[in-house]
Amino acid sequence: MAKGSVYDYELADGSTRYMAVYRTSNGVQRKKKGFRGVREAERFLNKTMAEVDAGRVIATWDTFAAYIDRWLVEHRPRIEEGTYRDYRVHIERRLKPYFGHLKLGDIAPAHVRRYVAELVEGTAAGAMHGTEALNEPLAVAERLGSFSVNELSRAMSLPPHRVRHLVDRLEREGLIARVGERRPAGRRGRAEIVYRVFGRAARERSSSHVRLIGAKTINNSLIPLRVALGHAVEDGLIARNPAASAPGARERIKVAAEQPEIDFLRLSEIPRYLDACASEYRPLAEILIACGLRISEAIQLTWADVDFAGSVLLVTGSRKSGRGAGEVRGGTKGDRFRGVEFGPRIEGILGDLRARQTEHAAADHTRRPVFATAEGRHLDRRELSRGPHKAALADAGLRESLRLHGLRHTAAASWLAAGLPLIYVQRQLGHASITTTERQYGHLEKSFLRGAARRAEVAIWEGRVEGPQELAAAE
């Protein structure tokens, strides 16, 4: 088995750190610094040497920026278009400004932890929504008058590579302009570019409201980082994934996110909402409320997915953003197919819809969307949300902040109000884990828990199980 070595070295403050030195599978010497103890360095070295012997650790001089650009192009055919767009935004706005200058093999878990911490603090690139992230550097630049990247870096106490990214954005936004060059006193080498702020634009921008990104956005930015570095491990470019949890390690690096308060139609509000729905929209609204489908799943349904004999809707796909302006068929969330049960009322609604469509359709209408435009095309989820859904809320006098997705929450809340267990809700909604269902809707499971201890005692000591009518009378 190949061997490596561990050496100690001293930092400027007098403390000791350790480095692991080894050769890659293709014979290039590499070193990994920053270990706080000998055992930590030895564990890394032992694991790396096993990978070297297997031929999976290949020396690469790629920076993270070069690798992630190539990875995104290669990975695009395997993911949904919407996912690709999200990845690209996180990569360009947050990951490349922070990790881009680092060699791929130099990225350590400590870098990932600091990245998360600086996003939370609002000091990392992409920590604020949109151009609001430019407020602070713009204000500092205005105070300086004219400045170079290094001068702005020192004034903001940020690394030059991050400030260079901010300066590029300020220039693209037209808020600063290049006014010349100068060579720092007593220094050799290339002259620095000098910039100046357009004063009025700076004052107007710096006075706008600053809003930091949330925990969910930060955690989502870690997904492409974790996946991309995982593929780098598979390709033998690095020995381990610094953004993933190792066996026996603490919880995966992420920010604890607050569970958002879900909003849904109360039982008394459902008839008001449905009565306010336009006639062509109401069948879809009823099925969303009764079956808990995602809107993207509902508008993808075709008549081949409706099992009238079994009273089941087969959810096998959903509408997703395409590469153009429209939507295309995509997979379900988590690529999990499921059957969703429906009752007699929904059976009647679906039967009426099919009868009306059959009158005007060709002989084979099984591939026709259940919910379609007059021309027989799939509906658009954004138009539904902005149009008939918002109109129904307004006409019913209900809160217009309720999202169309809230009808899925309405279904779950209604099932629990009817005394159905969480396992039923999980299967209807298609959650991969009952934990997800419990976290979102467990606090609504009141009727299922009410009187549970007394019913258990009746079953144990009296040998009988109370039915719904006996339970209602007892309560």
User: Mean pLDDT across the stretch 287-301?
Assistant: 92
Determine the pLDDT at residue 459: 67
Determine the pLDDT at residue 67: 93
Q: Which of 337, 350, 338, 358 is closest to 309 using CA atoms?
A: 350
Determine the pLDDT at residue 410: 92
Rounded CA gap, 318 and 239, in Å? 38
> Which of the two residues, 66 and 207, has the higher pLDDT score?
66
- Does the pLDDT of residue 471 top 50, yes or no? no
User: Mean pLDDT across the stretch 464-468?
Assistant: 52
- The pLDDT confidence band at residue 322, using thresholds 50, 70 and 90, is low
- The pLDDT confidence band at residue 282, using thresholds 50, 70 and 90, is very high
- The pLDDT confidence band at residue 358, using thresholds 50, 70 and 90, is confident
- Does the pLDDT of residue 130 top 90, yes or no? no
Q: Which of 390, 132, 149, 437 is closest to 273 using CA atoms?
A: 390
Q: Which amino acid is at 345?
A: R
Determine the pLDDT at residue 473: 45
- Does the pLDDT of residue 107 top 60, yes or no? yes
CB atoms inside a 10 Å sphere around CB 84: 18
- Does the pLDDT of residue 327 top 80, yes or no? no
Determine the pLDDT at residue 66: 92
User: Mean pLDDT across the stretch 130-145?
Assistant: 74
Determine the pLDDT at residue 332: 74
- 3-state SS, residue 401: coil
Q: Which of 47-61, 161-175, 335-349, 431-445 has the lowest mean pLDDT?
A: 47-61
Q: How far is CA 115 from CA 77, 96, 136, 170, in A?
A: 28, 11, 19, 22
- The pLDDT confidence band at residue 207, using thresholds 50, 70 and 90, is very low
Instruction: Find tokens 């690709």 and name the residue.
Output: 84
Instruction: Kindly report the average pLDDT of the chain as a whole number.
Output: 81
- The pLDDT confidence band at residue 463, using thresholds 50, 70 and 90, is low
Determine the pLDDT at residue 105: 80
> Which of the two residues, 110 and 211, has the higher pLDDT score?
110
Highest mean pLDDT among 69-83, 135-149, 279-293: 279-293
Determine the pLDDT at residue 419: 80
3-class SS letters over 262-297: CCCCCCCCHHHHHHHCCCCCHHHHHHHHHHCCCHHH
Percentage of residues of the chain with pLDDT beyond 70: 81
The DSSP string of 326-391 is SEEEEPPGGG--EEEE--HHHHHHHHHHHHHHHHHS-S--TTSBSSB-TTSPBP-HHHHIIIIIHH
Are 180 and 147 contacting, i.e. CB atoms less than 8 angstroms apart? no
Residues 393-413 pLDDT 10s: 999 999 988 999 999 999 998
